[in-house]
Structure 1
């Protein structure tokens, strides 16, 4: 290893000796308000040579390396701004152009009438940029409603997806909206503030600093706002009361002062709202997606919350952002669960009532210090403090050929306190114009869990009553984890178009878990005495890994190629101190290759192929050798002999964006193959005594234990095609996907593969007629084929379809009608589960006050009183259907007031539409 490192250092030193040092740098900004313009196109043209092209980063910076001295023409282009071209003389020293300011296009020539179609946008490398003027929305629509009209953006399983992947990050004018709730971020931007929308795969901070891709990507949407919207404030305040004592009080206020942005939100309600935003509709019923991550939440939920989001620039060199969120939430959820097991005629039926409460504080902060042109520092601390209380009452039964085996009634009360802290410090140094870059980062994290659980069980063995069980126990859990890692990257320019990097990584994860269970000594006594041995465990794990390897990158005006290879050496130690003393130590050696190829086929299309490998260490829950009988018919135990897994991932993406006819096409293929996959080994009759230490399984009960297995596959393809339908003045999208998943598992020490093939197709039609009529119609169908290798007679095919209609209609003089109809069809589910339902919400409102900023509305949620939540889950040893309680019909009277004030004037009223269209005429 030392010889390898020495050879690489010598190689880099030799390359540096003859490397040329000429570069061209600058920053692209708006001339009006000095805001950075990310993803602007910057081109250097020279007669007789291929053009050099780059795209600005999130701070508007661009850099050309290894520029040959000579006379050039510099061109800078950005949608909504006037293109500039100017000559540039490059001699034998680097050129810093400073700020390149672009003027906004003048669109106020009222005496000129333009008839035609608004340009949808363009494709810039892997960035799809859309012109917001090409999409019509209702005057009070949010940016979320705007983007879901755009080609390639769909709502799948309650989450917003772009180009087949979940959107994970939102930016405003190139500045991150700190926090992980993507939907809330988009709902706090009004559609009429947006100039254009960019969709791209953002690299990690480390990759952006070093110039080498580490394979970590975030599907990102960046909203570039209009000039008028960059100074002022917007917001919304709502209060409502309804039948069944349903209530809502919420407020959201956004303050904008160019680089400074502050968002304050507050909410109290019992109608399943998790957040409040300016995109909220009267009564909270018309938004469709409610929970964290987008999906409709199960149960009846009461939430009190407060949040603040802050973005600013301190001086010329420091950029900061952060958010604080306080949540006090209670959930009541009734569930019915039916499981059909693979290797037998055994079924499991469960009815449960769950009451949970959460009190949490979360703080995220980000500080980027651009020390000078050659040095950058990034610090990102995060902290969360949570208190949770969860009470579950469960009645469960097992059956064999419809004959009852067991009946179990148990209650669990769990109280837990959690503290988590993490911090990342990233520093990057550029050695002047030598082409050398040094990047270093340090990650630290600490987590602590302190929990108390009370379990009461009464299980009747219907085959042998002498085996009936009555149990009353107390469990104390103390768990701590500490992790740190460090990375050091050194890169060197090799020539005009290539670069070499050497990377070293070291990381350590320490976990300490102490779980002690006690019996109640008497009816009036406490929980004391000696811990129950087979339910108690004190366990520690220590995972240390190191990796080193080179990376090579080649880039020209059409092609980008990157090759990486890392050698990884890791050790995993597992130690138990109670009830048995033992230790395991395993060593792992892996080569982790990766590669990425991107080719710009034309100005409108490009191809990207990405291959990555990585390893994952088992969690402490999987490693800890202790029996968990919180559900006595579904006990579980860990496995301290687990190895790390090894993943191979490949992604292929093709994008085509034709600005002449506004047709958009995207296709992607995503695949994962995992060796040493952490699968479930299930025992249905009896388990080895070394696992249960004398604990007897009830008839029909199943003990699960994690094991390493090969053979996990997950392959998925996705396509989207979009175009305007001029005769309907609407936008049309069609999307589809084909997926295949193979999950390995073991049942009574026999190998079983659960194969799930999925076909999906969807259609979407969204209006572009008028701001007074805004509708969206969509339907998504899915057909699943489930096959198991152990018992083919239990193979199962099922179909599901979701159809949605959403309409906002300004009928006359501020009278607004809104409706959303959602129909779910699920034939072939288990008996006792509702196969289909229709959820119909609507409201009728009247706009009041100046510019119609106020509204009084009457709304109804679930008019037909059919709302249910049904979900099918596929695992290696069973298929289950779960139906949960949800919020059903109620009526609510709501008052809302829109706060809209900008330096350039108030926002347009509902009677004064200002937007253009896509496919129709624009005057």
Structure 2
């Protein structure tokens, strides 16, 4: 029976592989009927006559030319041409002909009456100026697909195993549902829990604030936002999922999400917990049960959701997480959204380090062992209100609250040795720290538009109040050996209080100079950050066994002030082809530190600096563009780098500030090019960036004969970093069932750093090259395989003879497979192989990391039973080597090891048609 079964599979494979597909080429030209101008970026697509499924599509070029090429065994098909604001063109074409010339097609301006003529003809891709829109039903996926599955098949979109998304080489940093946040816009919560069936369109735009979108400004061109539009008939009802699992080594996980949609009102509740270093919110079957960390997990065991820490420590983390999200329209011109998160986590980690420290005339070695236990308890609430009194005024308010407590138990043992392996000093410590943190932040944007040419006035204000109090118990012993041995014993208690009050205000006015093409912006910014940091340290009095002896040397009472005034002028020119921005600002900054215990060390410095920003973007067509960006920005030294306070908290590494430091000028040049051919499925994405720094602030350390270090700070010139990346993507649709995606990437980096070592200035040069290739073959409902190989070359060279040049080589191979046969079964394997031949003796040089899962779906695919094997070969390691200008370090810490887990999940969906809730009926989700 098995032989017959596999024989049928092989027969189907080769039958599909060699099925007769006739090539065709459709050409022509598209112009506007009213003014006879070419129409660029119109969508040209073919649909099958029998079921309206998509065969192929492309977009017109700048001259309105059409070129649609593909293969099919259909004898005829429906051809549609769609362009925003125009009537959709339709023609039944005979595909028996290999070449079809449509001639010149004149599109008529759309009217309501004409719009009613077109039925069942939704373009797969629509380009509306800066918005790229995909019709979800035009892209085939496996059954029961979620949003992430859809994103993986969209042209120009890449989804990594950890759930991170890029569009045409740009990272996605925000995901919205019907224009509103969905649990803080965390990608995996949204993409892995919303079904394809309820989504109508996926829109991609440059990331913008609400105020920028309202005023029509260009947003953040470095990041993208995805907006998921839910079908109107699926915007009322309930859906969600529950899952739980138990495994060997006392491993467990549970998670649940409930969603209630009622048109404008949306309520979502989630809960999760585990001791497998997972956020617990990503519920998709198989690899998604790992919570997005099955492969690209953090070696320290931590993770975050929209900037909120859910791990809070290193090693192995046990977490509990609960959340509530609410969004609603409160009336005409009034929208609101809010979410609340509670997270509790405990983490445990042990780390060993071996470091080779490089001096101009010698070397010494340090070995350390650290143990860290951390327990966190956090609450966070976010709210957002949009108020539109009329069509020209928007008030956006975004308050945020957070409260957290934590306890950290830390111990460390460190020893230093000379080149003859003779111990020169050692240090051991044990500490217990209990802390409480509170934070309130509120952002307000008020935007008023004038006329229809893009003129607006905006006033923004942001205020943040933070407090952090800590109780720190420390017991330490440090020993210095040699000719003059010395020992320092500390048994202390420190009462720490940090208070921050940050204020930032901005007013901006835009004046249109030439229609909607040339604008002048005037901006004024005022910023004031104030910090009160107090540390009261008490030594234990042996006579009464109480912490009552105030230690002035280890106590501080600082008041920091960073005040800035920044006027800015910007000229912006924008057309369909060009986008040019020229802007300059002048910064008046005051840095002040008041030392309540040592008033003679008070410091106050004033800086005046010019900043510049220019950006030029040119669109060759809707498919490709090039961008050149230059920035001159100024970073002042930190106040604690300026103050002459002598920090002796670590007696083996004493730090002192330098009040004569100058600000750092940073010149940054970026050149990027992006091109994607929709017809051929080919994309090229590249960037080049160079940073040159004047007066960079660096540490200046001297080491004595016993390797006790004294550190201060100094300015240096000559630092620069040059890096670049070229990525090529190719997607080939073999037939209606099978797709092949290929990717190649090359990144490089050149870094020159000027530093000090024992008072001697030197330069280090680091050059690295990282090529990688990846492949993804997908056979719908049958099989998927995705291999990836990455190689990393690094070379460190120095201009001082005492430092030896260093070469590093690193290999990484990944293989992800998925099998969907027999029916209702899904088997996935995620395999990683790492090889680091340069690691020191005693550390693991190579390791295989293999996760495997097998899932069975039943009850109409609403229930799933999953067997998961984590680290199947029991070789998981995070051994790594780090090289800097003056040391080489090998380290290894606690990682999650092998376990097996059986999980059960159940999903439900009562979203009904046309806003009707279908009680008691469950559909696939």
Same fold (TM over 0.5): yes
1:573-584 aligned at under 5 Å gives the runs: 573-584=592-603
**More deviation in 607-616 or 840-849?**
607-616
Moved more, 861-870 or 768-777: 768-777
* 1:168 match: secondary structure: strand
Label 1:419 to 1:703 Cα distance change in 2 as closer, same or farther (>3 A).
Answer: farther
Say whether residues 1:278 and 2:283 are aligned partners.
Answer: yes
Q: Please state if 1:367 is matched with 2:385.
A: yes
Partner of 1:716: 723
**CA deviation digits over 1:466-498, x for unaligned, max 9?**
313322222222111111121111121112221
- Partner of residue 603 from structure 1, selected from 615, 619, 622: 622
C-alpha spacing 1:646/1:101, structure 2 compared with 1 (3 Å): farther
Task: Report how far residue 806 of structure 1 moved.
Answer: 2.0
Q: How do 1:285-684 and structure 2 match up within 5 A?
A: 287-290=294-297, 291-292=302-303, 298-343=314-359, 344-401=362-419, 402-433=421-452, 436-464=455-483, 466-496=485-515, 497-522=517-542, 525-531=545-551, 533-619=552-638, 622=641, 633-639=652-658, 642-684=661-703
2-side partners of 1:479 and 1:403: how far apart? 42
1:234 counterpart = 2:252: no
SS in structure 1 of the partner of residue 514 of structure 2: coil
Q: Which residue of 2 aligns with 1:797?
A: 807
Aligned counterparts of 1:499 and 1:522: Cα–Cα separation in 2 = 73
Equivalents in 2 of 1:631, 1:162: separation in Å?
A: 47
Deviation at 1:226, TM superposition (A): 5.1
| Contact persistence 1:210–1:439 (CA under 8 A) | no
1:69 — aligned with what?
Answer: none
Larger RCO (alpha carbons 8 Å, 6+ apart) = 1
Where do 5+ consecutive residues of structure 2 fail to align? 1-30, 43-81, 92-105
The question of whether the paired residues in 1 share the 8 Å contact of 2:749 and 2:769 is answered with yes
Q: Which residue of 2 aligns with 1:828?
A: 838
Distance 1:806 1:701, change over 3 A: farther
Partner SS, residue 471 of structure 1: strand
Bigger drift between 284-293 and 533-542 goes to 284-293
Query: 2 CA distance for matches of 1:518 and 1:78?
Result: 80
Contact 1:164–1:718 (CA under 8 A) maintained in structure 2: no
Q: 1:844 to 1:178 in 2, by over 3 A?
A: closer
The Cα of 1:103 is off from its aligned counterpart by 11
Provide the rounded CA distance (Å) in 1 between the counterparts of 2:169 and 2:893.
28
Deviations 1:377-430 (A, max 9, x none): 111112221212111111212122143322322112222211122111111112
The whole-number CA distance in structure 1 between the counterparts of 2:701 and 2:654 is 10
Whether the 8 Å contact between 1:136 and 1:767 is mirrored in structure 2 is no
Post-superposition offset of 1:183: 3.9
Residue 53 of structure 2 is matched in structure 1 by none
* Alpha-carbon distance, 1:353 to partner: 1.2
Are 1:47 and 2:35 matched, yes or no? yes
> What is the CA distance between 1:620 and its match in structure 2?
5.5
Match of 1:837 among 838, 847, 855: 847
CA distance in 1, matches of 2:88, 2:110: 23
Following superposition, the deviation at residue 807 of structure 1 comes to 2.4
1:733 CA drift (Å)? 1.8
Change (3 A) 1:258 1:792: farther
Tell me the residue number matched to 2:780.
770
**Counterpart Cα distance in 2 of 1:216 and 1:312:** 29
Quick one: distance in 2 between partners of 1:573 and 1:900? 59
CA contact (8 A) 1:646 1:674 kept: yes
Structure 2 residue 892 is matched with structure 1 residue 883: yes
User: SS state of the match for residue 541, structure 2?
Assistant: coil
Q: Indicate which of 721, 736, 740 corresponds to 1:730.
A: 740
The 3 A distance-change label for structure 1 pair 621 and 239 is farther
CA distance in structure 1 between the aligned counterparts of 2:453 and 2:739, rounded to whole angstroms: 55
Residue 709 (structure 1) shift: 3.6
Aligned residues, how many? 818
Corresponding residue of 1:250? 255
The Cα of 1:332 is off from its aligned counterpart by 0.4
Q: Deviations over 1:253-299 (max 9, x none)?
A: 33334444333221121111123233364763884345425999841
Kindly indicate whether residue 94 of structure 2 is the aligned counterpart of residue 106 of structure 1.
no
CA contact under 8 A between 1:202 and 1:218: conserved in structure 2?
Answer: yes
- Unaligned ranges ≥5, structure 1: 1-42, 55-72, 90-96, 109-117, 687-698, 911-923
Counterpart Cα distance in 2 of 1:834 and 1:78: 65
- Post-superposition CA distance 1:59-80 (Å, at most 9, x none): xxxxxxxxxxxxxx99448999
Name the CA distance, whole Å, in 2 between partners of 1:262 and 1:708: 54
* Residue deviations 1:200-241 (CA, integer Å, cap 9, x gap): 432445544555568785443334455565444432211111
CA contact (8 A) 1:375 1:430 kept: yes
Q: Secondary structure at the match of 1:420?
A: strand
Q: Contact (CA 8 Å) 1:210, 1:489: kept in 2 or not? A: no
Q: Normalization by structure 1: what TM-score?
A: 0.80
What is the aligned counterpart of 2:821 among 811, 816, 836? 811
Instruction: Quote the Cα distance in structure 2 between the aligned partners of 1:123 and 1:653.
Output: 21
Structure 1 residues 478 and 733: CA distance shift in structure 2, 3 A: same
Q: Give the Cα–Cα distance (whole angstroms) in 2 for the partners of residues 183 and 646 of structure 1.
A: 39
Q: 1:166 to 1:656 in 2, by over 3 A?
A: closer
**Which residue pairs with 1:853 in the alignment?**
862
Cα 1:75–1:624 shift into 2, 3 Å: same
**Deviation, structure 1 residue 632:** 5.1
**Secondary structure of 2:485's aligned partner:** helix
RMSD between aligned residues: 3.9
Q: Which moved more, 1:748-757 or 1:508-517?
A: 748-757
Q: Aligned partners of 1:614 and 1:816: how far apart in 2?
A: 52
- Alignment TM-score, normalising by the size of structure 2: 0.80
Q: Deviations over 1:584-603 (max 9, x none)?
A: 22221112121121212113
